Copies of this chain bind each other. A is one copy, B any other.
Amino acid sequence: MPMSEIEPLGPADVRRAMDRIGGMLHRTPLLESSLLNRWIGHRVVFKAENLQKVGAFKARGAANTLLFLKESGEVPGEVVAHSSGNHAQAAAWACAEVGVPLTVFMPETASAIKQQATRYYGAAVELAPTRREAVRLTAERVERGAFLLHPYDLDGIIAGQGTACLEALEDGPVPEAIFTPCGGGGLLSGTVLAAEGSAPDAVVHGVEPVSANDAARSYRTGRIHEFPEAPETIADGVQTLSVSERTFLYIRRTAGILEVGEPEIVYWTQWLTHLLKSTVEPTAVLGMAGAMRWLRRKPEGRTVLVILSGGNLSAATRARVWESDFLHQVPGKP
């Protein structure tokens, strides 16, 4: 598994990642709601990565990358990352497991609870006045020899994130379509690889908020689109400025990137919290919102797989989710 130059990964890399990280991670359950299935006339199987270590699939890629480095006898003396989200906690957790010091650069605007959680797992957190400055400080450390645990632009991350889909395909029914959120594209890329190996007839779709549709634009034009600044959306896990050349390799092989509106994201955050009795963050329900768009054009009785990416919400985000009340509008035929 090459870690530095772009040489395409295959399904076998995802399987090797699964063998590598199995002992460190939860094999998360598949969830279903018979009520939801009856209402919409299709079967939706959810892979519950909100129940993963640190509350998000991000633990998979971080664990895979660090264990691969360890296996190869290339454990770095220092690891750095920049993130104010789930990747920071995943990196901190994985580095602690492997016993490598980690410094995470966060913008001062990162919520106190995320700073706290990252420190809890044992990482040093350094605050920068802006996101741009956090990236610059990280680059400085990399120049001095630290290993950058990038949130998506690493083969080890992509292969690791793909293990969520691979497990779901091993444990559940064969789906006709698979839906994941798309931020930097690590989860989507790994999912493409897992599906190509274990469910070659399934179509794979990434899903983005309309307001953060850089991957959709890139897919349509064939050229990576980059936002000048973080787009506004309640799905804070997909506010990345662009995908990378590495992830775009796999994103081009999907059946397309679906775009959904903010009300749909809030609607499904409320309903999946209610029906699955499971804490999901707005980013996590993008797959469901996208699935409903896809199912609209299909006859009843389809089986689809939706990856619920995580369950970490700040109290502020939760308050925003519940300030409206969509639970009076029962889901219906898509």
At the interface, yes or no: A327 with Cβ under 8 Å from chain B? Answer: yes
- Is A260 located at the chain interface by the 8 A CB criterion? no
Contact B327 A277 (CB under 8 A): no
A51 near B277 with CB under 8 A, answer yes
Please, how many angstroms separate the alpha-carbon atoms of A153 and B273 in the complex?
Answer: 32
CB-CB nearest 10 A-B residue pairs: A315-B325, A277-B311, A277-B279, A318-B322, A319-B322, A50-B277, A315-B327, A113-B327, A273-B279, A51-B277
A297 located at the interface, meaning its Cβ lies under 8 Å from any Cβ of chain B in the complex: no
- State whether B330 touches A319 (Cβ < 8 A): no
Find out whether the CB atom of B330 lies under 8 angstroms from the CB atom of A326: no
Within 8 A of B (CB), among A266-312: 270, 273-274, 276-279, 311-312
Report the separation of the CA atoms of residues A314 and B322 in the bound assembly, to the nearest whole angstrom: 10
Task: Tell whether A322 pairs with B311 under 8 Å between CB atoms, given A112-B328, A277-B278, A279-B277.
Answer: no
Interface size on A, residues (CB 8 A): 31
Chosen A-B contacts, 15 in total, with CB atoms closer than 8 Å, are A35-B120, A55-B277, A113-B328, A116-B330, A276-B279, A277-B311, A278-B279, A279-B279, A314-B325, A315-B322, A315-B324, A315-B325, A315-B327, A319-B319, A319-B322
Chain B positions within 8 Å of A315 at CB level: 270, 322, 324-327
Nearest-Cβ distance from residue A267 to partner chain B, whole angstroms: 11
Q: Mark A32-67, 1 if CB is under 8 A from B, else 0.
A: 000100000000000000110001000000000000
Question: Given the complex, which residues of B lie within 8 Å of A50, measured CB to CB?
Answer: 277
Given contacts A276-B279, A279-B279, A315-B327, 6 further A-B contacts (CB under 8 A): A51-B277, A55-B277, A113-B328, A116-B328, A277-B278, A315-B324
A323 on interface, CB distance cutoff 8 Å: yes
Bound together, the chains give a CA A324 to CA B249 distance in angstroms of 44
